[in-house]
Amino acid sequence: SAGDREALAWVIGRVAGSAMTKGWGALVNYANEITETKKLVKNLAMRLFRVDLSRGWTKARMVFRQRLENERTRRKQRDWAAGYLKERMESISNMSARPPKIVRASAISAVQSKFRQYRQEKIFDRAYPLGSTVSTRVQQAQ
């Protein structure tokens, strides 16, 4: 029937179009591979022909790539350090300062404890000028 012929023609057209698309894709891939192979062979021939220049260019290329890598690493470290500093500054800005009364009291107690430690060490070494029998004002007041 006419409908079957039309459906069959449509299916054949689709299959043929798909096969042609795949064929052209394979042909383009093959052409690209051939072009790339020609470039590589030409490059190799020039490198073999000019060995003395090739060594210098190879080394220059390696040095250039190493410098790029060092710069990239330095940039990453700089960005990380900037982020870390920003984070620390934000955390410091969110902290509240201790009141002067508490700071003063802690400084005085730190000095007193250091002096007591110094005094005990000197008494133990028998080098404290006032001796071990001298009592402090607080001890005298008790």
The pLDDT tens digits of the residues spanning 39-93 come to 999 988 887 887 777 777 888 889 999 999 999 999 999 999 999 999 999 888 8
Average pLDDT over residues 107-127: 88
Q: What is the residue type of 26? A: A
Among 24-38, 46-60, 105-119, 120-134, the range scoring the smallest mean pLDDT is 120-134
d(CA 27, CA 117): 90
Largest CA distance in the chain: 130
CA distance 78 to 55: 34
Mean pLDDT of the chain: 87
Measure the CA–CA gap between 102 and 108, rounded to whole angstroms.
Answer: 10
Radius of gyration over every alpha carbon of the chain, rounded to an integer in angstroms: 43
3-class SS at 95?
coil
- Asked if residue 47 lies in contact with residue 54, where contact means CB atoms within 8 angstroms, the answer is yes
pTM above threshold 0.75: no
